[in-house]
């Protein structure tokens, strides 16, 4: 399952890649740097979302294990 943080992170990473490439095309280092920053932020947000999913899955596994006993 996918959560909001994962989706927002992926989108921010993609937007950052586009912004970086646009900056390269027009020779605008500032836009290129902003794009790189967005990519880093996006990857961090996605990693947070991934971690949330791991915790959620672990909680569900514990609940299932407790129900069986």
- Domain spans of the chain? 4-68
Average of pLDDT values for 27-56?
Answer: 97
Output the CA–CA distances (angstroms, integers) from residue 31 to 9, 12, 13, in the order listed.
19, 15, 14
Average of pLDDT values for 9-28?
Answer: 98
Question: Is pLDDT of 13 > 90?
Answer: yes
Question: Is pLDDT of 69 > 90?
Answer: no
Q: Token digits for 34?
A: 């902003």
* CA–CA dist 18, 36 (Å, integer): 10
* CA–CA dist 37, 31 (Å, integer): 10
What is the model's pLDDT at position 1? 81
């Amino acid at each position: 399952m996918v959560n909001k943080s994962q989706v927002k992170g992926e989108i921010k990473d993609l937007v950052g890649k586009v912004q970086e490439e646009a900056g390269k095309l027009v020779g605008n280092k500032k836009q290129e740097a902003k794009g790189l920053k967005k990519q880093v932020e996006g990857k961090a947000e996605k990693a947070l979302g991934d971690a949330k999913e791991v915790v959620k899955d672990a909680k569900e596994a514990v609940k299932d294990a407790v129900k069986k006993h």
